[in-house]
């Protein structure tokens, strides 16, 4: 069996025996939506994913080096608008040849879960929302006057 004859399974579950016979396998595969649609939800929804992987086998170990890249729909942490962005995350694993089935999809799903961030911005210069009226300052200009509010202002009133 050689790389050209081997059909990469869509679910990325490989027979260890097949991989041992191949010794190495390089592939790129666009994932079906069903494999990633429930990993993250809005405001960080993955919209497409492609896996590129290199698998090398020796007598004891299976070395898996790869990356998952694609698109996602995010929500800006300042203006709350949704926008599209791309991502790419790498992964490396060493697995045992003693296992009958090697499930790389679990590695890919874990890697996709790591693309979730704390806060995303639609652009570095995002002006956000007005503190007073709530208008998106990237789209509209408002004439609100921002008051200097300090949570410690009440303490100044009670000075002795």
> In the structure encoding, which two tokens stand for residue 153, read together?
């202002």
Give how many domains the chain has, as a whole number.
1
pTM, rounded to two decimals: 0.78
**143: in domain:** no
- Residue 40: give the domain boundaries: 3-126
Task: Answer yes or no: is pLDDT of 158 > 70.
Answer: no
As a whole-number percent, the residues of the chain with pLDDT over 90 amount to: 59
Rounded to 5°, the CA angle 43-51-108 comes to 65
Over residues 109-124, the mean pLDDT reads 87
Q: For residues 16 and 96, what is the distance between their CA atoms, to the nearest angstrom? A: 9
Work out the percent of the chain whose per-residue pLDDT is above 70.
91
Higher pLDDT, 63 or 21: 63
Residue 85 has pLDDT above 60, yes or no: yes
Considering the domain boundaries, does residue 136 fall inside one? no
C-alpha–C-alpha distance, residues 1 and 74, integer Å: 43
**Is 132 within the bounds of a domain?**
no
Which is nearest to 25 in space by CA: 99, 104, 98, 88? 104
- Please name which of 65, 55, 67 lies closest in space to residue 15, comparing C-alpha atoms: 55
CA distance readout (Å), 37 to 10, 32, 47, 85, 121: 15, 9, 8, 16, 22
Q: What is the pLDDT of residue 4?
A: 62
Residue 139 lies in a domain: no
Q: Report the mean per-residue pLDDT for the chain.
A: 88
Q: Is the pLDDT score of 150 beyond 80?
A: no
- Does residue 146 belong to any structural domain of this protein? no
In a domain, 160, yes or no: no
In a domain, 47, yes or no: yes
What's the pLDDT band for 3 if we cut at 50, 70, 90? low
Instruction: Give CA–CA dist 24/2, Å, rounded.
Output: 9
Between 104 and 133, name the one with better pLDDT.
Answer: 104
- Residues whose CB falls within 8 Å of the CB of residue 131, separated by 6 or more in sequence, listed in order: 144, 146
Residue 89 above 80 pLDDT? yes
In a domain, 91, yes or no: yes
Q: What is the pLDDT of residues 22-81, one digit of tens each?
A: 889 999 999 999 998 888 777 788 999 999 999 999 888 999 999 999 999 999 999 999
> In terms of Cα–Cα distance, which of 75, 55, 57, 73 is closest to 65?
55
- What pLDDT, on the 0 to 100 scale, is given for residue 145? 79
Mean pLDDT to the nearest integer, 9-32: 92
């Amino acid at each position: 069996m050689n790389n050209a004859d081997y059909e990469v399974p869509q679910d990325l579950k490989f027979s260890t025996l097949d991989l041992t016979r191949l010794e190495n396998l390089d592939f790129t595969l666009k994932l079906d939506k069903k494999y990633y649609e429930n990993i993250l939800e809005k405001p960080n929804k993955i919209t497409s994913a492609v896996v590129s992987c290199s698998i090398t086998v020796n007598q004891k170990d299976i070395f898996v080096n790869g990356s998952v890249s694609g698109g996602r729909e995010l929500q800006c942490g300042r203006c709350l608008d949704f926008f599209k962005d791309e991502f790419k995350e790498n992964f490396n694993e060493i697995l045992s040849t003693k296992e009958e089935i090697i499930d790389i999809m679990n590695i890919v799903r874990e890697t996709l879960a790591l693309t979730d961030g704390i806060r995303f911005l639609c652009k570095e210069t995002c002006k956000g929302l007005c503190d007073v009226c709530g208008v998106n300052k990237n789209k509209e200009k408002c004439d609100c006057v921002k008051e200097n509010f300090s949570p410690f202002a009440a303490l100044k009133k009670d000075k002795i």
